[in-house]
Amino acid sequence: MSKSLEHAARWFHALADETRLRIVHRLSEGEQCVCDLTDVLGTGQSLLSFHLKTLKEAGILRDRREGRWVYYSLNLEALEEIEKLVGSLKAMNGRLQAALKCCE
């Protein structure tokens, strides 16, 4: 755990922003090119680029260039790891609860 803390924190930080969550949600429908994501933000293109970079560097998105366009998609492995991590945080606690329940 201790070594992966930094990594985990980076994951959560990447998800800790409404706009980025909106992007991830959009991409959960499947791969999309940047140009199709522009409407997610009311504002400038550079900001979208910034958020995409943040998510990509955290390992949550992958990108792929195809001619003029760049396509982004979710990295499902990362999301799975995050899901497991969250699960593991409550896991031990749950076990303790269960253990206590049996001894009431």
Partner DNA sequence: TTGACAAATCAAGAAAAGTTGATATATTGG
Partner DNA sequence: CCAATATATCAACTTTTCTTGATTTGTCAA
Chain residues binding its own copies by CB under 8 A are 1, 5-6, 8-10, 12-13, 15-18, 21-22, 24-25, 27-30, 73-74, 76, 79-80, 82-83, 86-94, 96-97
Q: C-beta of 104: minimal distance to DNA in Å?
A: 26
Which residues lie below 8 Å from residue 52, measured CB to CB, with a gap of 6+?
23, 34, 37, 61, 63, 72
Tell me the sheet residues that pair with 65: 70
Tell me the sheet residues that pair with 73: 62
Q: C-beta of 5: minimal distance to DNA in Å?
A: 13
Q: Among residues 70, 54, 72, 64, which one has the least CA distance to residue 10?
A: 54
Task: Say which entry of its own copies, DNA, none residue 5 contacts (CB below 5 to 8 A, set by partner kind).
Answer: its own copies
- Residues at the site binding DNA, with contacts judged by CB under 7 A: 13, 16-17, 19, 33-35, 38, 43-54, 63, 65, 67-70
On whether the CB atoms of residues 61 and 52 are closer than 8 A, the answer is yes
Tell me the sheet residues that pair with 93: none
Residue 34 or 85: which CB sits closer to its own copies? 85
Residue 68 or 93: which CB sits closer to its own copies? 93
